[in-house]
Structure 1
Amino acid sequence: MSLIQLQNEQDWNLVKEQRNRIILMKNSTTCPVSHEAFKEFQKFAADNENETLYYLNVQDARSLSNAIAEQTGVKHESPQVLIFDGDNVVWHDSHWNITNKKLAQANEKTKA
């Protein structure tokens, strides 16, 4: 399982330069819904050890979270998972819809 925390826009830009397909979670460290969603994200990571997954904690990286929302046009929510193909968001969902099962389905559906 490879979970990498992004701290700032420099981290994000580096990931975008290195990878075309990115799975990113926006997580809140104070929200119980986010806590449960992050546990599901961790289960998904454990089940997909060949994937590198990224997350940011909104409280620590608010400017990055806002920049991603602005760049993509996808309204910020927390918790939220976005799957990118290049600069395009090909799937996103939030709150209680973030489950290991739904992430697996979205992952398969968006692999081309």
Structure 2
Amino acid sequence: MGLFSFSKKPRPSKLNWININTVEELKQAIAETENVEGLFFKHSTRCNISAMALNGFENQWEQDDKCELYFIDLIAHRDVSNALSELTGVEHQSPQVIVVKNNEAIYAASHNGISAREIKKSI
């Protein structure tokens, strides 16, 4: 598979991502941030910058039970991405990470600014 090849197969990951496919699932995930922080990763499967940001994040992140990891495929679920922007008040970017606690965005970063180390400092 070349650098610009795209596949419909789910990509392997060492992290326990929870896929968000509907606005209802998104609302439920945000509601659950009263108990544990939620990290929402908005990823474009057509963008090499997004792929690099996701890979970099996954290589840096150490799985922990203090933060749930939610994955939003922007191409397949743009409505979910738009709803996340509306619900958090964070302007849409791609790729983008938004960390939510108690139903409010406490951290957001996009593109090369996505850093697992910086996210860990914020939670």
* DSSP 3-state at the match of 2:39: strand
What's the offset of the Cα at 1:23? 0.5
Contact 1:2 1:49 in 2 (8 A): no
- Greater share of helix residues, 1 or 2? 1
Runs of 4+ in 1 over 4 A off after TM superposition: none
Contact 2:45 2:51 in 1 (8 A): yes
Mapping for residues 20-99 of structure 1, pairs under 5 Å: 20=34, 21-45=37-61, 47-50=62-65, 51-98=67-114
What's the offset of the Cα at 1:49? 4.1
Do residues 17 (structure 1) and 26 (structure 2) align? no
Flag structure 1 segments of 5+ consecutive residues without an equivalent: none
Q: Which has the higher contact order (CA 8 A, sep 6+)?
A: 1
Cα RMSD (Å): 1.6
Kindly provide the CA deviation profile for residues 11-50 of structure 1, in whole angstroms up to 9, marking residues without a partner as x. Answer: 11222233331101100000000000111232244x2243
TM-score norm. by structure 2 comes to 0.77
Flag structure 2 segments of 5+ consecutive residues without an equivalent: 1-14
Kindly provide the CA deviation profile for residues 83-107 of structure 1, in whole angstroms up to 9, marking residues without a partner as x. Answer: 1112211110101112xxx222222
* DSSP 3-state at the match of 2:17: strand
1-structure distance, mates of 2:31, 2:107: 20
CA spacing shift, 1:71–1:14, aligned 2, 3 Å: closer
CA spacing shift, 1:35–1:95, aligned 2, 3 Å: same
